[in-house]
Amino acid sequence: MKIHEYQAKGLLKEYGIPTTEGGVATSAEEAAAIAKKLGGKVVVKAQIHAGGRGKGGGVKVVDGPAEAKAAAEGMLGKPLITIQTGPEGQVVSKVLVEGAVGIASELYLGMVIDRATEKVAFMASTEGGVEIEKVAEETPEKILKEFADPGMGLMPYQARKLAYGLGLEGKTASAAASFIMKLYTLFVEKDCSLAEINPLIITHDGGVMALDAKLNFDDNALYRHPELVELRDLSEEEPSEIEASEYGMSYIKLDGQVGCMVNGAGLAMATMDIIKLAGGEPANFLDVGGAASEESVTNAFNIILSDENVKAVLVNIFGGIVRCDIVAQGVIAAAKNIDLQVPVVVRLEGTNAEEGLKLIEESGLQFETAKGLKMAAEKAVAAAGSGGEVRNEHPCKQRYPDRGAGHHGAGRHLPHEAVCGVWFKCRGRRNPRQGRPGHGRHPRLQHGCEGRRRAESQRGSHLRAARLLRRRHSRGG
Ligand code: GDP
Ligand code: MN
């Protein structure tokens, strides 16, 4: 889960981490009132769940209330387009108005959970500000790294090492080390998946302060943080994914042509594998859950068909607890309610499979049925036409040419591992299931089944993967 900058700064303050003072406004008048109260120069900052606002015109340093009002007017209610939002941008409904701070230098500080080392990774650089991605790409040696052992936590010497590594001295170095220690405490206590301060600034009097703050949280830990759940802003999330989660389904929008309706995350992944093997590209990952009912199948159809890239749907259900005839009824009922413009291939296996297939064949609907997953995938790919463009490059390179494999795309707020973790995007590897944790499938998916916990886990990680895919993709990179 992501939160806004102003919310993140609220949390920093709770942990005694120095940051800017200001207030949030939803109207230009409010923005002017806050600016008046603060006095002097202020900064007006658009609050959206995406970075790169500075370059996109979402951060304005202005002189007083009148200018603050104008700046807020220019942002509120309008889409802000940044390198992270995609071409349609994200509509701004709140602005943060803060007292402008004099900056002596802008540094970078980031923390993420590094799946490869299974530690919290710290990244720091003197090249802070708005172009950390470029630094990571072109001069990775300018990014200092430190790893906190989960058993020991971050040791004070490590924080000092980072501070001195940044070229800081005396009380500024102590302040920076203390800043890093406190942010680490917040990171652990609040179950963050990412904390990024860019820029971390040095003020003219040698103070250290967070000028920007980005915090992401592990969705699977939200049950123990009701205070964080309150910060969730649904207007910033993908509507079809919210809808799916309300029905208890896991949906991830991808960019292929074959829509997949499957029960169980493992089967969903196998289905995507086979679609790729048949020369196609999956349009989504949709797990209708263990108890695929008539209602959930109908909802699932609606969600899949809301994606206009979908040229064919493959329904692949294994009847374990759920009975295939029930699923078939759901498919038939859904098909009658919906204006189905795309071919549907149904493969049912397990409990009451024969009955289910018979129902579909007798329904009068133009559905293809298939025996076996291979045949089903081949039929679905053929029905979808070309089956989508074939990608042979590693996903990190092919989608994000500006991101070098190996570093954390820190400024873009996602660790490299998360990108590589979207294993089904990766054609290059022989067998994605053989990957090391962090270099193949999501590590959680490599372990045994623990029922609900695992399902939740998968949902969280897949939703994150999906979000990042969409962000990157919509950038056209
Ligand atoms: P981002 O582009 O979305 O990451 O937004 P930031 O909050 O990082 O702001 C971008 C840039 O605006 C910063 O790197 C600063 O250079 C500038 N900026 C933001 N707040 C202030 C401020 O209070 N004073 C001054 N002088 N510059 C600021
Ligand atoms: Mn920033």
CA of 96 from ligand 1 middle (Å) equals 12
Least confident of 5-9, 147-151, 294-298, 465-469: 465-469
pLDDT reported for residue 475: 41
Q: Atom 8, ligand 1: which residue's CA is nearest? A: 212
Ligand 1 contact via 43 beta carbon (within 6 Å): yes
Q: Alpha-carbon distance 39 to 33, whole Å?
A: 10
Average pLDDT over residues 365-393: 77
Q: Alpha-carbon distance 385 to 380, whole Å?
A: 9
Over the stretch 391-403, which tens digit does the pLDDT of each residue have?
333 333 333 333 3
Q: Atom 23, ligand 1: which residue's CA is nearest? A: 100
Ligand 1 contact via 333 beta carbon (within 6 Å): no
Q: Give residue 264's pLDDT band: very low, low, confident or very high (50, 70, 90).
A: confident
Ligand 1 contact via 211 beta carbon (within 6 Å): yes
pLDDT reported for residue 467: 55
Closest ligand 1 atom to 99 CA: 23
**Chain mean pLDDT for the chain:** 82
CA of 199 from ligand 2 middle (Å) equals 6
pLDDT reported for residue 235: 85
Q: Which residues surround ligand 2, an ion (CB under 5 A)?
A: 198, 212
Ligand 1 contact via 106 beta carbon (within 6 Å): yes
What DSSP string describes 452-467? HHHHHHHHHHHHHHHH
Average pLDDT over residues 302-331: 89
pLDDT reported for residue 460: 53
The answer, yes or no, to whether residue 441 has pLDDT greater than 70, is: no
Q: Which 3-state string (H, E, C) describes 153-190? A: ECCHHHHHHHHHHCCCCHHHHHHHHHHHHHHHHHHHHC
| Greatest mean pLDDT among 106-120, 352-366, 428-442 | 106-120
Residue % of the chain over a pLDDT of 90:
57
Least confident of 248-252, 275-279, 381-385: 248-252
Q: Hey, how many other C-beta atoms are within 10 angstroms of the C-beta on 339? A: 6
CA of 302 from ligand 2 middle (Å) equals 38
Residues annotated catalytic, as ranges: 108, 196
| Greatest mean pLDDT among 54-63, 299-308, 436-445 | 54-63
pLDDT reported for residue 258: 96
Q: Is the dihedral of CA 115, 116, 120, 126 positive or negative?
A: negative
H or E segment to which residue 277 belongs: helix 265-277
Average pLDDT over residues 443-452: 33
Q: Atom 11, ligand 1: which residue's CA is nearest? A: 54
**Candidate of 12, 59, 82 to mutate for ligand 1, largest count of ligand atoms within 8 Å of Cβ:** 59
The one-letter amino acid code at 260 reads: C
pLDDT reported for residue 389: 39
Q: Give residue 136's pLDDT band: very low, low, confident or very high (50, 70, 90).
A: confident
The answer, yes or no, to whether residue 367 has pLDDT greater than 50, is: yes
CA of 130 from ligand 1 middle (Å) equals 8
CA of 292 from ligand 2 middle (Å) equals 43
CA of 52 from ligand 2 middle (Å) equals 7
Ligand 1 contact via 200 beta carbon (within 6 Å): no
Ligand 1 contact via 85 beta carbon (within 6 Å): no
Torsions phi, psi of 474, nearest 5? -70, -15
Closest ligand 1 atom to 100 CA: 23
Closest ligand 1 atom to 5 CA: 7
pLDDT reported for residue 5: 97
More confident residue, 105 or 245: 105
The answer, yes or no, to whether residue 462 has pLDDT greater than 80, is: no
CA of 215 from ligand 1 middle (Å) equals 17
Closest ligand 1 atom to 50 CA: 3
Distance of CA 387 to the CA centre of its chain: 26
pLDDT reported for residue 402: 35
Ligand 1 contact via 213 beta carbon (within 6 Å): no
Q: Atom 22, ligand 1: which residue's CA is nearest? A: 100
The answer, yes or no, to whether residue 386 has pLDDT greater than 70, is: no
Average pLDDT over residues 290-308: 82
Q: Atom 10, ligand 1: which residue's CA is nearest? A: 54
At how many degrees (to 10) do helices 265-277 and 452-474 cross?
40
More confident residue, 58 or 477: 58
CB 404 within 8 A of CB 136: yes
CB 95 within 8 A of CB 44: yes
More confident residue, 316 or 409: 316
- Residue 52 region, left (φ>0) first, then alpha (ψ -120 to 50), else beta? left
Ligand 1 contact via 96 beta carbon (within 6 Å): no
Ligand 1 contact via 413 beta carbon (within 6 Å): no
Closest ligand 1 atom to 411 CA: 4
Average pLDDT over residues 307-320: 91
| Greatest mean pLDDT among 300-309, 408-417, 423-432 | 300-309
Average pLDDT over residues 430-453: 33
Beta-bridged to residue 111, according to DSSP, are 122, 195
Closest ligand 1 atom to 51 CA: 3
Q: Which residues contact 107 (CB under 8 A, 6 or more apart)?
A: 124, 125, 126, 128, 166, 199, 200, 201, 202
CA of 212 from ligand 1 middle (Å) equals 7
